[in-house]
Copies of this chain bind each other. A is one copy, B any other.
Amino acid sequence: MDEPWLLNLGATLGREMPITRSMQLETVSWTDQQLAMKMPLEPNRNHQDSAFAGSLSTLCTVVGWGTLFMLLQQKGLTGNVVIRRGTIRYLLRSSEIVATGLPIDSDELGFFFELLQSKGKSKLDIAVEIADEQGPYVVFKGSYVVHG
């Protein structure tokens, strides 16, 4: 059941946010409400032939946005998702660029949907990590607002 939703997310990003096509962003998986997306190094490289900070930040922003897109689809809801705030830390660089949403607290998620359905508007924080075999090297946290 996740596959068509993931395909829908990928198609939506490519159509509505064309720079993600230039970056060659791709969905990887949606498991236990955790979205993973990846991009190749070449179009996203920097002066050190490692990953460009702007692309890393965009990838994380999109994984947060896509997590809400998937959560809403899963509940059969529609809503307009907008990011309000983001913080990011870059620890080191790597050529493995897969960003994964971190687990969302189930109480927070319940409250998020409760508010969305009662008020038509809600907010959720999504944490995203980019890790390689040595551990996470980019840590992102975004606050997203949803209007139902």
List the interface of chain A (C-beta within 8 A of B). Answer: 12, 16-20, 22-23, 42-48, 52-55, 57-59, 61-62, 65, 80, 82-90
Which residue from chain B places its CB closest to the CB of A93 in the assembled complex? Answer: B82
Which residue from chain B places its CB closest to the CB of A61 in the assembled complex? Answer: B54
Most buried by B among A17, A43, A80: A17
A59: chain B residues within 8 A (beta carbon): 54
A84: chain B residues within 8 A (beta carbon): 89-90
Contacts A47-B12, A58-B58, A61-B57; A52 near B19 (Cβ below 8 A): yes
A61, B54: Cα distance in complex, Å:
6
A19 and B22 contact, CB distance less than 8 A = yes
A80, B46: Cα distance in complex, Å:
12
A20: chain B residues within 8 A (beta carbon): 54
B90 and A87 contact, CB distance less than 8 A = no
Q: List 28 A-B contacts (CB under 8 A).
A: A16-B46, A16-B47, A17-B45, A18-B43, A19-B19, A19-B22, A19-B43, A19-B44, A19-B54, A19-B55, A20-B54, A22-B22, A53-B65, A53-B83, A53-B86, A54-B58, A54-B59, A54-B61, A54-B62, A57-B57, A57-B58, A57-B61, A83-B90, A84-B89, A85-B88, A86-B87, A86-B88, A87-B88
